[in-house]
Amino acid sequence: MSTSLPVCCHQIAYPHKNYSPTFIPSHQSVHHKIECQSITSQPVDSSQHAVPYIKRPDINFRPSIWGDFFLQYDSDSESTDINDVKQQEQMLKEVKHIFLSSKNDMRQQLNLIDSLQRLGISYHFESEIEEALEQIYKIFTNNKNMSTKENGLHFLALAFRLVRQKGQHISSEIFEEFKSNKKNFDEKISKDVQGIWSLYEAAQLRINGEVILDEALDFTYTHLNSLIITNDQLISPFLVTQIRRCLETPLHKGVRRLETMFYISSLSEEPSHNKVLLNFAKLDFNKMQKMYQKELGSITKWWKKTDIETKVPYARDRVVEAYFWQLVLSYEPRNSTARKLGTKLTKCVSILDDTYDAFATVEELELFTHAIQRWDISLIQSLPESMKVVFNTILELWGEYERTIVENRKSTLLLEYIKEDFYKLAKSYLVEAKWCNEGYIPTYDEYKANGIKSSAFPLLLLSFVGLGEFSNKELLDWIFSNPKIISATSTIAKIADDIASHKFEQQRVHVASSVECCMNQYDMSQQEAYKLIFKDIENYWMIMNEECLNLDSIPNPVLETIINFARGCGFMYVDYADKYTNAELLKDYIVKLILDPISIEKCG
Ligand SMILES: CC(C)=CCC/C(C)=C/COP(=O)(O)OP(=O)(O)O
């Protein structure tokens, strides 16, 4: 049964104005100085401090499409049906039994691990999978005979991908044997559709300089694509569906929950699928939806209480969309607290971004940034009420972090780092506001260096990891030191977002995006700039892949969270659109992921 949505969710009626295309943020206005000079007889704000009259932009983002819809799920009570729990426990046992029975058959075990991961239920079997992949890695490294053609392309590529995903290095040379005369990939292997599909997915984990995987990617993409174009009737419908999907979003780059949703819905097309596995995955998916609904219920309650909607009218009201970002970072039950606080943090970042980007003057922002540095709201008495509300919301959230950290016995270092990262973020926003105000177009590298901070990812990651099971001083220090892998992910976020939103943002006066920086620096067209940036994104993916193999001391789930953010960017900012700001583009995904349960009878 599908959850019935409020009218506001089904019929998106936007009462008014979108961004006015002609609006000029006040700190960017050429008339700004004149307006500031003629301030004397202008209004005084409610805080009784004289506030100079400044013409603020006539800016209105579309309202939330969710309103208080999720409030209905806010509850402290556990409403789990005892029969459901028993059924899940029973099925978990059965799946475990299936996994253990595959122990002596490496091929079967690899296929099972792949299925468990795709179905989103591998988190129930972490130690078993870890152990199995460790064994497989040893076999690969100790026994050179493993890398022979007899093992089959599908098997080798799957093993390669699963082991690398776990952070261990298997040489890509194992694919040399699938080349003819050591040159190009042998055209004959294109008949092995499952094999080239697996090789395509494996090649996504390539690192810089792995020419054989660059070639594999070209080769497999070309053949898989032509299979789809020619509508080859010999391929099973299940495989066709998988190929279509991976050409659009390779598994390695897909948002985990979305990939799971897709796989669950397509697996019943496969005649020999394991029904126990599929039904368990469906039950688990539906169970998690209830958890997400509850999380969103309590977040919505918080949001309503802040009343940002009325007190900071220029800011985007995107709570559910902010929650989606957290779901992208991790869908697992153990990260519930991190998701909830992380959503509130994302909202704070978002209203801060709107304050710098679309509301305040440079002078106001300088004062505001200084107050954040000192972590002292008394320093902004002269600023507009809305800016005080923004700061106060951040301070109150910080207080909630303090309480949560004590309750959950997490490292208190997180509190200091959050403060410092907020300052770094504000400083980077100020840099962009000044560039904009001065009409300065930085070089692409200069822009990216600042963009690592203004992406806000370092702060969001600190929060997520700091509240998670691996939280400790060394790990927080490592994140705060902004290592290569975090810079790579943050840069992807910044430049992918720019590609998605630059046309829209450049309708108004806005800081030059990476697109304009490239066009200006390299004297190129917009299309050429897109091309360069897309190539750059690919390059950062290879850096992330390589760092995952290098960073032995960082727990795998932490690395996975970092990669997940880049996966999220690939989804949120695809097709030149920003799904966070344009929330209607995200609505159907939220309905499917969080609200509509999967029918077990129909698909099982
Ligand atoms: C996942 C994160 C970081 C979410 C927080 C919300 C946010 C600031 C999004 C970027 O907005 P934007 O597209 O307006 O960014 P910019 O100001 O860089 O153009």
Give the model's pLDDT for residue 21: 27
Ligand 1: nearest atom to the Cα of 505: 19
Residues 448-494 pLDDT 10s:
999 999 999 999 999 999 999 999 999 999 999 999 999 999 999 99
Which of 327, 348, 350 for a ligand 1 pocket mutation test, highest count of atoms within 8 Å of Cβ? Answer: 350
Give me the DSSP letters along 88-122: HHHHHHHHHHHHHHTTT-HHHHHHHHHHHHHTT-G
User: Does residue 27 register a pLDDT over 50?
Assistant: no
489 lines ligand 1 (CB under 6 A): no
Percent of the chain with pLDDT over 70: 87
Residue 442 has a pLDDT of: 96
Give the containing element (helix H, strand E) for 149: none
Say what the alpha-carbon torsion angle 338, 343, 348, 352 is, to the nearest 10 degrees: 120
pLDDT digits (tens, 9 = 90+) for 91-108: 999 999 999 999 889 999
Whole-number Å distance between alpha carbons of 479 and 37 = 45
106 touches 331 (CB < 8 A): no
Average pLDDT of span 126-155: 84
Q: Closest ligand 1 atom to the C-alpha of 568?
A: 1
* Å from CA of 201 to ligand 1 middle: 30
Q: Is residue 321 within 6 Å of ligand 1 at its C-beta?
A: no
Atom of ligand 1 nearest to the CA of 455: 3
For ligand 1, whether the C-beta of 580 sits within 6 Å is: yes
Burial of 313 (0-12, 13-18, 19+ CB in 10 A): middle
The pLDDT score that the predictor gives to residue 80 is 72
> Best of 353, 390, 450 to mutate for ligand 1, by most ligand atoms within 8 A of CB?
353
CB-ligand 1 contact for 125 (6 Å cutoff): no
Residue whose structure tokens are 């301070």: 395
CA 476 to chain centre: 20
Beta bridge partners of 180: 184
- For residue 273, the CA-to-ligand 1 centroid distance in Å is 41
Which of these ranges, 16-25, 141-150, 368-377, 572-581, has the smallest mean pLDDT? 16-25
Tell me: the pLDDT tens digits for 555-570? 999 999 999 999 999 9
Residue of minimum CA distance from atom 2 in ligand 1: 346
pLDDT of amino acid 358: 85
Under the banding of pLDDT at 50, 70 and 90, the label for residue 264 is very high
Provide the β-strand partners of residue 185. 179
Distance from the CA of 300 to the center of ligand 1, in angstroms? Answer: 20
| Residue among 80, 87, 2, 1 at smallest CA distance from 280 | 87
**Ligand 1 mean position to 580 CA, how many Å?**
8
Query: Is the CB of 571 within 6 Å of ligand 1?
Result: no
Nearest CA to 495 out of 532, 458, 542, 547 is that of 532
Q: Does 350 contact ligand 1 (Cβ within 6 A)? A: yes
Output the pLDDT for position 75: 87
- Rounded to two decimals, the pTM is 0.90
Per residue in 297-318, pLDDT tens? 999 999 999 999 999 999 999 9
Instruction: Please give the residue that has the higher pLDDT: either 503 or 444.
Output: 444
> What's the whole-number average pLDDT of the chain?
88
Residues with Cβ within 8 Å of 131's Cβ and at least 6 positions away in sequence, in order, are none
* Contact indicator for 501, 578 with CB cutoff of 8 Å: yes
Has residue 3 got a pLDDT over 90?
no
Ligand 1 pocket check for 432: Cβ under 6 Å = no
How many angstroms is it from 221 CA to the middle of ligand 1?
A: 32
Question: Domain ranges in the chain?
Answer: 83-279, 307-576
361 CB near ligand 1 (under 6 Å): no
Q: What is the pLDDT of residue 46?
A: 37
Q: Which atom of ligand 1 is nearest to the CA of 457?
A: 3
Q: State the pairing for strand pair 184-185/179-180.
A: antiparallel
Q: Which atom in ligand 1 lies closest to the alpha carbon of residue 322?
A: 4
Nearest to 254 by CA among 570, 539, 544, 540: 570
The Cα–Cα gap between 388 and 393 comes to 8
Please state the atom number of ligand 1 nearest to the C-alpha of residue 356.
17
Answer yes or no: is the C-beta of 357 below 6 A from any ligand 1 atom.
yes
Whole-number Å distance, alpha carbon 58 to ligand 1 midpoint, is 20
| DSSP sequence for 423-441 | HHHHHHHHHHHHHHHHT--
Confidence check: pLDDT of 59 > 90:
no
**How far away, in angstroms, is 346 Cα from ligand 1 center?**
9
CA-nearest residue for atom 13, ligand 1, is: 497
Q: Whose CA is nearest to atom 19 of ligand 1?
A: 498
- Determine the atom of ligand 1 nearest the C-alpha atom of 346: 5
Q: How confident is the model at residue 575 (pLDDT cuts 50, 70, 90)?
A: confident
Our answer on whether the CB atom of 295 is closer than 6 Å to any ligand 1 atom is no
Indicate if ligand 1 lies below 6 Å from the C-beta of 515: no
Residue 187 buriedness (CB in 10 A; 0-12 / 13-18 / 19+): exposed
Q: Which atom of ligand 1 is nearest to the CA of 429?
A: 17
Q: Which of 31-45, 167-181, 259-273, 367-381 has the lowest mean pLDDT?
A: 31-45
Q: In this structure, which amino acid lies at residue 355?
A: T
Counting atoms of ligand 1 from 1, which one is nearest the CA of 501? 13
What pLDDT is attached to residue 534? 96
- pLDDT on residue 570: 97
CATH among 1.50.10.130, 3.20.20.80, 3.30.70.1710, 3.30.200.20 for 83-279: 1.50.10.130
Q: Find the 428 Cα to ligand 1 centroid distance in Å.
A: 13
pLDDT bracket for residue 48 (50, 70, 90): very low
Instruction: Say whether 509 sits in a helix, a strand or coil.
Output: coil
Test site for ligand 1: of 459, 580, 581, 585, most ligand atoms within 8 A of the Cβ = 580
Q: Which atom of ligand 1 is nearest to the CA of 578?
A: 13
Q: Which atom of ligand 1 is nearest to the CA of 494?
A: 18
Residue with CA at minimum distance from ligand 1 atom 9: 350
Top-confidence residue, 258 or 88: 258
**Whose C-alpha lies nearest to ligand 1, atom 3?**
456
- Residue 456 beta carbon below 6 angstroms from any ligand 1 atom: yes
pLDDT category, 32, cuts 50, 70, 90?
very low
30 has a pLDDT exceeding 60: no
Residue located nearest, by CA, to atom 6 of ligand 1: 350
What's the fold here for domain 307-576?
Farnesyl Diphosphate Synthase (1.10.600)
Query: Which residue has its alpha carbon closest to ligand 1 atom 7?
Result: 350
Question: Which pLDDT tens digit goes with each residue over 331-363?
Answer: 999 999 999 999 999 999 999 999 999 899 999
Beta strands in 450-500 (DSSP E): none
